Amino acid sequence: MLVMSQDARKLMLAGSQPTRSHKTKLRSTSIQCYLCLLLNSHFLTEAGIHVFIFSCVSAGLPKTEANWQHVASDLKRIESLMQSIHIDATLYTESDVRPSCKVTAMKCFLLELCVIYQESNNMDMKDTVYNLILLANSSLSSNGTITESGCKECEELEEKNVKEFLRSFRHIVQMFINTS
């Protein structure tokens, strides 16, 4: 059974923006400008003010469109950092991902990535892993609530070393890039 620490649980459930390496772009402000003009001219009511406030808040929310290229670059960074950092762990790894199970497999990879986060003492590694998890979760949320059946549970996957895990992870990220 996979047991996560409080930090890892926060990491998987984080709803904040990705850290330093990738800044998310703000949504187009043209809608907010139009709403502001409407608010000033016609809708100077309580409901109009609420619409204006919500539109301003929405401008600061991160986009949920696919960030798989950024996930791939963070994954390359993790692989290069792994050459100087030794993490002795075996991770549940999906070696042969079926396209119909790629979301389920990605969720398993992200859960296992938390182990790398916990095992590493290197702050660059922790920051990059944290950023990758946020970006991937953001990209997965753009798929909505896709239900995949007939896919293996994380604990049913074969345990492999970190290098094999990262190689398989790179393969599944490439599957997402090719379909976006």
- pLDDT tens digit sequence for 63-113: 444 489 999 999 999 999 998 888 888 999 998 888 889 999 999 999 999
Q: How far is CA 131 from the centre of its chain?
A: 7
Give buried/exposed letters for 130-158 (b at 16+ CB in 10 A, else e). bbbbbbbbbbbeeeeeeeeeebbebeebe
> What pLDDT, on a 0 to 100 scale, did the predictor assign at position 148?
82
Report the alpha-carbon distance of residue 79 to residue 112 in Å, rounded: 15
10-51 residue pLDDT tens: 555 554 444 444 444 444 455 555 555 555 555 556 655 655
Give the architecture-level CATH label for domain 68-178: Up-down Bundle (1.20)
CB-based contacts of 175, cutoff 8 Å, min separation 6: 97, 99, 102
- pTM of the predicted protein model: 0.64
Cβ(103)–Cβ(148) below 8 Å: yes
> Tens of pLDDT along 42-77?
555 665 565 556 555 555 555 444 489 999 999 999
Q: How confident is the model at residue 149 (pLDDT cuts 50, 70, 90)?
A: confident
The pLDDT value given to residue 157? 94
pLDDT of residue 20: 46
pLDDT of residue 179: 82
Q: Report the distance separating Cα 116 and Cα 119, nearest Å.
A: 5
The residue among 33 and 143 whose pLDDT is bigger is: 143
36: its two tokens? 């502001």
Structure tokens at 126: 């922790």
The single-letter code of the amino acid at 45 is T
